[in-house]
Amino acid sequence: MDLLEKIVSLSKRRGFVFPSSDIYGGLGATYDYGPLGVELKRNVKERWWREMVYRHDNIEGLDAAILMHPTVWKASGHVDAFHDPMIDDKASKRRYRADDLIERHIEKLETSGKGKQARDVRTRFVAALHSDDMPKELHRIILDEEIRGPDSGAFDWTEVRQFNLMFETHAGAVVDDETKIYLRPETAQGIFVNFRLAQETARQQVPFGIAQIGKAFRNEIVARRFIFRMREFEQMEMQYFVCPGTQMEHFEEWRAKRMQWHIDNGVRPERLRWHEHEKLAHYADAAFDVQYDFPMGWQEIEGIHSRTDFDLKRHQEFSGKKMEYFDPHRKEKYIPYVVETSAGLDRTILMLLCEAYEEEHIEGEERVVMKFHPEVAPVKAAVFPLVKRDGMPETAQALAADLRGHFNAFYDDSGSIGKRYRRMDEAGTPFCITVDGETMETGSVTIRDRDSMSQERIPKDNAADYLKDRMRTWSRSA
Ligand code: GAP
């Protein structure tokens, strides 16, 4: 089993992530978060919100509806241009993103020492992405480079065709073109259309940001790799409205801050890198992705985009409503430029699962342990009575109840202590507390550290403060 398969299996077994509608055989590219997964996800959202909204007094929160006026998507360009270039392998009947196939081919050339060929293909690839007939040019590269179907190994391709990724539905009882609406493919447009209302009600001045966490939907044609590419997923987006001409300085500021946030969540810096976009969208003047070294290779988890004034200008044009801002310092009106930070919540979760997963061999036995940063760990502490008698269960339950006033704590009295430790290791619980005979005499408990498996005794009444301190000062090598 490769690492991703192990994570898929652990996720289902331990309640992180389940296939959606599992009893009906699942629904492609749609997943549900189980009891542990939902805690992990809430912790990540909470950390993002705290970092973006609470730590910046010039960033406001927003929660816009998923369903929006259909003209929003005409103005944003999604109706006309939210396409992926797809190609079918006739042998395996599988469909792939043509640009993905070529990027992977280039990476393979690079890793097998064919640097010159890799550079030549990349030059052609970049030209193809900018050409007027992008599908045809991508198709030519695939044929010329004899790129084979990743699943079949065959060389039997269809043409490259463009597919729109937006999910359509209808508002009301009548199903026709007049009632057609879309499930939002990004949360960002909810921010753009509320720009004036949010700015005026919060009395913010440029530069300021609006942040939002919410669902987005894309009818991904190639939806594989677990929660990496889903049809229903969550984004954590922030649009930062700035004075035209200052966007690059804010772009660099947000690049640094966003990379640091991932590192602060416990991700090893060497597993993160920047990837500059080969082709800028027509409205962007800079775009970089944060990539993580997933088991299937380097892949995007977050995009930092300098989107100019494109979106606000288009909404002004399509709605007829002014999107201008009067700058009291410059004493002039302008449509602000936007620097966007757009992170995928589910991809962040997959990254944290990959980053945490470790297999260790301890005295002839294998231990699977999820070494999450304690601040994102679903359960912070588990409390065990050593045996189910002599008042230990009652004391342990009272301690767990006390800890729950501070963070998510779990009580467990079933099975041997060793088995209880293993269960908590797989759940990624950083601390296990055992109530034993000595507790009943002296009031001290043992605290077992998930990562080092070392144990120490502390007074049980200090447990909450002690654990909070340990969580705050955690580092991977500890
Ligand atoms: N507002 C800009 C925007 O939506 P994007 O690069 O298309 O930009 C931003 O998406 C982030 O959303 C990506 O970096 C990724 O983490 C996440 N994302 C996009 N499509 C996704 C999908 N099908 N499944 C899971 N996450 C996705």
pLDDT at position 177: 86
Phi first, then psi: give them for residue 74, nearest 5 degrees: -75, -45
Could you give the 3-state DSSP secondary structure of residue 95? strand
Instruction: Give the predicted TM-score (pTM) of the model.
Output: 0.90
Report the DSSP pairing between strands 297-308 and 381-385. Answer: unpaired
pLDDT at position 223: 66
The stretch 68-93 carries a mean pLDDT of 94
Report which DSSP code applies to 17. E
Q: How high is the mean pLDDT of the chain? A: 96
The stretch 249-270 carries a mean pLDDT of 98
The pLDDT tens digits for 290-313 are 999 999 999 999 999 999 999 999
Q: CA 467, CA 380: separation in Å to the nearest integer?
A: 8
The stretch 133-147 carries a mean pLDDT of 96
Q: CA 439, CA 252: separation in Å to the nearest integer?
A: 54
Q: CA 180, CA 74: separation in Å to the nearest integer?
A: 12
Could you give the 3-state DSSP secondary structure of residue 363? coil
CA nearest neighbour of 474 among 380, 369, 366 = 380
| DSSP-derived secondary structure for 123-169 | HHHHHHHHSTTHHHHHHHHHHHTTPPPTTT----EEEEEEEE---EE
Q: Which atom of ligand 1 is nearest to the CA of 345?
A: 16
84 Cα: distance to centroid of ligand 1 (angstroms): 13
Q: Is the pLDDT of residue 221 over 80?
A: no
Q: CA 253, CA 237: separation in Å to the nearest integer?
A: 16
Q: Is the pLDDT of residue 287 over 80?
A: yes
Q: CA 139, CA 128: separation in Å to the nearest integer?
A: 9
Task: Name the residue type at position 168.
Answer: E
132 Cα: distance to centroid of ligand 1 (angstroms): 25
- Give the percent of the chain with pLDDT over 70: 99
pLDDT at position 7: 98
The stretch 432-437 carries a mean pLDDT of 98
415 Cα: distance to centroid of ligand 1 (angstroms): 43
Alpha helices in 50-114 (DSSP H): 71-75, 78-81, 98-111
Say if ligand 1 is within 6 A of residue 218 CB: yes
Write the residue with the smallest CA distance to atom 7 of ligand 1.
186
Task: Name the residue type at position 274.
Answer: W
Q: Is the pLDDT of residue 478 over 70?
A: no
The pLDDT tens digits for 148-164 are 999 999 999 999 999 99
Q: CA 266, CA 355: separation in Å to the nearest integer?
A: 8
Q: CA 140, CA 411: separation in Å to the nearest integer?
A: 61
The residue to mutate among 72, 233, 348, having the most atoms of ligand 1 within 8 angstroms of its beta carbon, is 233
Say if ligand 1 is within 6 A of residue 97 CB: no
127 Cα: distance to centroid of ligand 1 (angstroms): 24
Write the residue with the smallest CA distance to atom 12 of ligand 1.
344
- Give 363's pLDDT tier (boundaries 50, 70, 90): confident
> Can you say whether residue 408 is alpha, beta or left, with left for phi > 0 and alpha for psi between -120 and 50 degrees?
beta
